[in-house]
Structure 1
Amino acid sequence: MHLNGPLPTRRPTPPPAHRRTLARRWATGAGMLGAAFALLLGTPGTATAAAKLPPKNEVRPGEAWMGSGVREEQQPPGGIGTLSHGDGVQGIDVSHWQGAINWNSVRGSGIQFAWTKATEGTSYKDSRFSANYSGAYYAGVIRGAYHFARPNSSSGATQANFFASNGGAWSRDNLTLPGVLDIENNPSGAMCYGLSQTSMRSWILDFYNTYKARTTRDVVIYTSPSWWNTCTGGWSGMATRSPLWVAHWTSNHTPTKPTGFTAWTVWQYTSSGSVPGVAGNVDRDKFNGDRSRLLALANNTP
């Protein structure tokens, strides 16, 4: 039997009983080898092991994910099993760090929506975006794309155009959510990317205006209370423009909102969640409303 390697050294034919034992051993070895290849290649229907996340403050450009900066300021709660977190319309957010995902299993576990990383800055595209975006769609998960902001590398307009051209587009098909501007603590350097509060406000508004001109949609803003209050001065200028996705990893019944926002639309309540079909930890999210309101957000209807 050939197992993608050199043939074993020929030996005298063993007696029948030994031949059966040897065959079982070869079959076991082949099965283990096949399972290893399936794990490495991400066979459909299985979730490959998630990659190990880089240490804090060592996230290189292109490697960031939703929450990679939030962990600089928050610690994941010890448990997330409270009713206030686990009930309602549940979702996740993912990137290449989760590896291959079994989206049918994800949907079967009750997850109704997901945002997946598409782009970062002006030159990075997530390697698993296409697989995640289409996989979620065909499994019936209401999906969307997000852009990890790097305000120190280019203008808001430049990054919004890059995002819209590489996964951030939108269509009214009952399964596509508007794009997300992920703007949070810099996981690779200075918290506010070297921008003043005034400059940061202008950068965000520039991104918003450009994205809306490209897609007709208001971009969703993902951020944490600490970052928004520090780097924008608790700016209220986006409260009537963008739905808020607040990152607050807590066991409390409700999240703390950034100053300047009066309501939250999505709540990322932990970075250490568990969902069938996803290997390792995954961010867990909750929508502030029932499924009909989630579909209204997706389809841009009242």
Structure 2
Amino acid sequence: MKQQFLRRALGGALSVGLLMQPALAAVTPDIPQGWTTPFSDVAEGDWYTPFVSTLNSQGVINGYDDGRFGPNDAVRAGDAILMVVKAAGSGNQPALEGAHYAAGYVQYALDRGWLTQAQAAVDLNAPASRLYIAALAAKALGLSASTKRSPFADVSDGYVTALYQNGVVVGEKSGGKRYFKPDNSITRAELSVIVWQVMSFDDYIHFSSHVLEKLDGVPVNRYDNAAFVKTDGRMEYVGGDRASLAGVDVSSHQGTVDWAKVAADGIDFVIIRCGGRYYGSGKVFEDKQFKSNIRGALDAGLQVGVYFFSQATNQTEALEEAQFVLDTIADYPVDGPVVFDWENIGTDSARTDGMTSAQVTAAANAFCGRIKAAGYQPMIYFNQYIGYLLYDLDQVTQYPFWLAEYTDKPTFYYHFEMWQYTSSGSVDGITGKVDRNLWMPKEAPVRPDRPSQETEPGEDEEAMPPSQDISREQS
């Protein structure tokens, strides 16, 4: 019986994705409108139908001459390699005289290091295993083998782990463990998922084990990663189209700071915690080092912004926090960003547990709107998890983002103006570790002429414990 699976070559330079357990897929295509199955063994309720229907409607895959698709039939190694390599942008590879029809694709993968000599010597007419295709797909995608612990109970291969970390494979959960089933043969249904992943991989954001749709209207990160240069722990952006300002952010956790030494160590700006809200009681407090920090930073000639650690559960509380900030900084010439820093706790039960994206986004808009109306520049701080999974970023694009991502090259998909690139930096004048930041406004910020008014230091009614930034009140 003649098998017709790949009807035509996959065009374009495509990145390869792989999802071995489509039933657990983070993203599944819709069955094309008006599509009716030409296959006797593919029905609307089958897990693979969305993938098969999408590819069939595009003329990518077909079935057997007898009208079957054969979803559970094993795929030969030659066919699987051919399809993955074509999806990776090989184009049509010429047939090698006297060799298997897929030999040209095997050689293409071998030349690029996607297959080893031993892997290239596989029997191309034998079924391909999941592990074999996973390693090929990961290498074609440009992923390095992960050194982290495998999430799967039945395989420790670094390429499979890398695919999981990039949200490409999810496996199958059973009895509290996750299984990859590396020795199982790839079926035609599963290979359909691979092909669909190949064609759609670049249409999604792959973060951790999440696959996310790209948001319309949110500016994309256009930074040139080669222009991020780190020297002696200090990051610079030398792209030329933006300012590159070095900064730190501090709270009572840093204790007493020698701001003259900080300024002399090449620091241009500081973001000072002016206060926060306890995640247990919900009480608002002023950071006990705020007055000392802001007077010292201003006297040292640094550009000063502030942040508020928010645990607002609604817009009313966010407005209360914004007003607290405005009252707290009223007597100081704050000329840097005023930042809304909402964080999920995770390590303890908190009053913000279970908040929805809509609630967090509404709180941010309320806070930033009040700050902007008072004449300051609002900014929103988040790490990748909160940015991708908790905020509706398309609803807060009027405010710049401050990203926390502790890497040498940022991977966040959307545009950000400030980057907290490490939490373990060192700066002269600050004892212990400190967050270091890179601020990249389109133009160097203009510092308004606001006269400073000296205020007498007062006792804090309540403050966060100095050993950590997010905590309940001390009993």
Scaled by the length of structure 1, what TM-score is found? Answer: 0.62
Q: Within 5 Å, which residues of 2 pair with 1:4-43?
A: none
Per the TM alignment, residue 280 of structure 1 is displaced from its structure 2 partner at its CA by: 0.2
Give the aligned partner of residue 396 of structure 2.
Answer: 238
Quick one: structure 1 residues 86 and 200, their matched pair in 2 at CA, closer, same or farther if it must change by over 3 Å? closer
Q: How many residues align?
A: 208
Contact 1:192/1:231, CA 8 A, preserved across alignment? no
Q: Within 5 Å, which residues of 2 pair with 1:99-178?
A: 99-121=255-277, 122-152=283-313, 155-167=317-329, 169=330, 176-178=335-337
Give the aligned partner of residue 407 of structure 2.
Answer: 250
Bigger relative contact order (CA 8 A; separation at least 6) = 1
User: Aligned with 2:393: secondary structure?
Assistant: coil
Quick one: structure 1 residues 149 and 139, their matched pair in 2 at CA, closer, same or farther if it must change by over 3 Å? same
Give the aligned partner of residue 345 of structure 2.
Answer: 186
Q: Within 5 Å, which residues of 2 pair with 1:83-102?
A: 83=231, 86-87=235-236, 88-102=244-258
Quick one: structure 1 residues 236 and 191, their matched pair in 2 at CA, closer, same or farther if it must change by over 3 Å? farther
- Of 109-118 and 154-163, more deviation after overlay is shown by 154-163
Give the aligned partner of residue 225 of structure 1.
Answer: 384
Distance (Å, rounded) in 1 between the aligned partners of 2:368 and 2:390: 17
Contact 2:248/2:437, CA 8 A, preserved across alignment? yes
Per the TM alignment, residue 114 of structure 1 is displaced from its structure 2 partner at its CA by: 0.2
Per the TM alignment, residue 143 of structure 1 is displaced from its structure 2 partner at its CA by: 0.9
Distance (Å, rounded) in 1 between the aligned partners of 2:319 and 2:289: 25
Quick one: structure 1 residues 130 and 226, their matched pair in 2 at CA, closer, same or farther if it must change by over 3 Å? same
Overall identity of the aligned pairs, in %: 26
1:193-247 Cα distance to aligned partner (Å, 9 max, x none): 331122222221111222223x223411111121122222x421111x2111100
User: Aligned with 2:395: secondary structure?
Assistant: coil
Per the TM alignment, residue 141 of structure 1 is displaced from its structure 2 partner at its CA by: 0.8
| Paired amino acid for 1:225 | Q
Give the aligned partner of residue 50 of structure 1.
Answer: none
Runs of 5+ in structure 1 lacking a partner? 1-72, 74-79
Contact 1:146/1:179, CA 8 A, preserved across alignment? yes
Distance (Å, rounded) in 1 between the aligned partners of 2:340 and 2:448: 18
Distance (Å, rounded) in 2 between the aligned partners of 1:192 and 1:227: 13
Contact 1:243/1:265, CA 8 A, preserved across alignment? yes
| Paired amino acid for 1:235 | L
| Paired amino acid for 2:394 | S
Give the aligned partner of residue 361 of structure 2.
Answer: 201
Contact 1:94/1:282, CA 8 A, preserved across alignment? yes
Quick one: structure 1 residues 85 and 105, their matched pair in 2 at CA, closer, same or farther if it must change by over 3 Å? closer
Distance (Å, rounded) in 2 between the aligned partners of 1:178 and 1:94: 14
Scaled by the length of structure 2, what TM-score is found? Answer: 0.40
Contact 1:150/1:193, CA 8 A, preserved across alignment? no
Give the aligned partner of residue 82 of structure 1.
Answer: 230
User: Aligned with 2:422: secondary structure?
Assistant: strand
Matching residue within 399, 420, 433 for 1:268: 420
Mapped pair 1:295 → 2:462: no
Give the aligned partner of residue 59 of structure 1.
Answer: none
Distance (Å, rounded) in 2 between the aligned partners of 1:191 and 1:82: 39
Distance (Å, rounded) in 2 between the aligned partners of 1:170 and 1:222: 24
User: Aligned with 2:312: secondary structure?
Assistant: coil
Contact 1:170/1:177, CA 8 A, preserved across alignment? no
Runs of 5+ in structure 2 lacking a partner? 1-207, 209-227, 237-243, 278-282, 450-475
Quick one: structure 1 residues 170 and 205, their matched pair in 2 at CA, closer, same or farther if it must change by over 3 Å? farther
User: Aligned with 1:133: secondary structure?
Assistant: helix
Give the aligned partner of residue 13 of structure 1.
Answer: none
Distance (Å, rounded) in 2 between the aligned partners of 1:182 and 1:278: 22
Distance (Å, rounded) in 2 between the aligned partners of 1:179 and 1:137: 16
Contact 1:180/1:220, CA 8 A, preserved across alignment? yes
Quick one: structure 1 residues 245 and 286, their matched pair in 2 at CA, closer, same or farther if it must change by over 3 Å? same
Per the TM alignment, residue 102 of structure 1 is displaced from its structure 2 partner at its CA by: 0.5
The CA RMSD measured in Å over matched residues stands at 2.8
